[in-house]
Amino acid sequence: MARKLDKVMAALPKERQRRVEARAMELATLKDLRLAALQTQEQMAAALGVGQDTISRLEKRSDMLLSTLRHYVESMGGKLELVAQFPNRPPVVIERLGAEPGPRRKAAATRRGARAAA
């Protein structure tokens, strides 16, 4: 069963927590995030409902869907935020990208059903 990062961190001595947090600010890869969260590929695979080989391939990718990245981060107990930074302006948090799609509108689904029947 996957462990939540908050619980793992809380169990560490304060000095170790400080070092882990400082190191986390330098991390750049999904593998580094997973290792910092003390998770194995097998644990991540179980949490995401995929095979270990899928996690291995995912960690080597340079391009992926935001929803895939969000699921990966959330399975470790984290939250993914996308921030746009512009010169001379405060950062802007972009919301709803990579989020689960909302319920489909009934009218659109009805129109598609009518076209398919025709």
Q: How far apart (Å, rounded) are the C-alpha atoms in residues 62 and 14?
A: 34
Contact 44, 2 (CB under 8 A): yes
Looking up residue 98, the CATH number of its domain turns out to be: 1.10.260.40
Q: How far apart (Å, rounded) are the C-alpha atoms in residues 36 and 39?
A: 8
Q: Whole-prediction pTM value?
A: 0.59
Query: In which band, very low, low, confident or very high, does the pLDDT at 105 lie, cut at 50, 70 and 90?
Result: low
Please report, rounded to a whole number, the percentage of residues in the chain having pLDDT higher than 70. 77
Task: Tally the domains of the chain.
Answer: 1
Q: How far apart (Å, rounded) are the C-alpha atoms in residues 21 and 115?
A: 55
Q: Which residue range is the domain that position 79 belongs to?
A: 5-117
Please write the tens of the pLDDT for every residue from 11-49: 989 998 888 877 776 666 899 889 888 899 999 999 999
